[in-house]
Amino acid sequence: MGELGYGLGMTRYALSMCLFLGLAGNAEAKKTITSDTTWGTEASPVSVDEDTLVAKGATLTILPGVKVQLGPGVSLSVEGALVARGTKDKKITFTGKLVSGKPSRWQSILFADSATDATYKDVDDYVSGSILEFVVLEYGTQALKLVGASPHVSSCTFENNVYTVAGGEKRCGAAMLITRGSAPRVVGCTFKDNSGDSTAEGGAIFAEKSAPIIQDCTFSGNKSAYGGAVTTYNTYSPMVGNTFDKNSSTWEGGAVALLSSSQAFLNNKVTNNQTTADGGGVHVCVTCYPHATPFFMDNTITDNENSLHIGAAGFGAAYLRAFSHNNV
């Protein structure tokens, strides 16, 4: 039968046949989506009050202008495909359901290893598969969580996502956690005011043992204990053409921290970031093993600071494969 129950005037037969939500007012997502389903504006906002799964073989399509409200701690998990393509003027929004007049803190949109990856033509032209485009993700915990999955993430806004460290875990990624070989393309996105507390690493993005391409994104106002905006661990893919401004950490790497990573850091602008100890702009871990040995070319890393002055204010590093044509 259909995957959404929203009440009056729809028979079970009609609901099972619909690929479009055609009634005004709130629609409530059921727990498992087993067939191709579309959420449209006539049913927006869509309420997701319990953990919901897009099963293998199914595609959930969300149309431009739809708002999805998730309850406290709720996740949308994808084992099939998610196609959420908004437009510049009609963005799709994932936000917390209002509790006492304020958005609640939902958990994640989680792509599992079985999720349908994005496919491309001519290297970088999206063709098919899972995609988030012109999507706003706000008030999540780890808003987008990729576990061996590679969707296309383009022109999205990640804002006010907060991760609280528990059980001694350090990895954060309040906006995006990228892990287990995931290789998403993250292009033209905005990461603003995402944060992790305590010993958290990577206020906006934490990538480990994965290969994300992070290109032409803007990071501002993100913060964590280590790597205010981005922390990578055992990651070897490029960060190209990004802007990091006014991010902060309470220990090292005001904007970016690289652990055991040999990334190409190319044509990025890193300015006005702040940390306590070392690398107000970028910190390259020298005590990690294997050592971080990244490439740094054509970057601007200026006007960053460290408040204790016990390390480099702008760029704290040791083992580098290449360092050329940078303004530091």
Span 187-211, average pLDDT: 95
Span 150-169, average pLDDT: 90
Q: Is the dihedral of CA 270, 157, 250, 253 positive or negative?
A: negative
Q: What is the pTM of this model?
A: 0.90
Query: Residue 168 pLDDT more than 60?
Result: yes
Nearest to 84 by CA among 69, 95, 94: 94
The pLDDT value recorded for residue 319 is 83
Tokens of 88: 């510049």
Give residue 28's pLDDT band: very low, low, confident or very high (50, 70, 90). Answer: low
Query: Residue 19 pLDDT more than 50?
Result: no
Nearest to 188 by CA among 149, 158, 231: 158
The pLDDT value recorded for residue 324 is 93
**DSSP H or E stretch at residue 306:** strand 305-306
The pLDDT value recorded for residue 63 is 98
Span 36-57, average pLDDT: 96
Give residue 12's pLDDT band: very low, low, confident or very high (50, 70, 90). Answer: very low
Phi, psi at 218, each rounded to 5°: -120, 130
The pLDDT value recorded for residue 167 is 63
Query: Residue 263 pLDDT more than 60?
Result: yes
What mean pLDDT value characterizes the chain? 89
Nearest to 298 by CA among 264, 254, 267, 257: 267
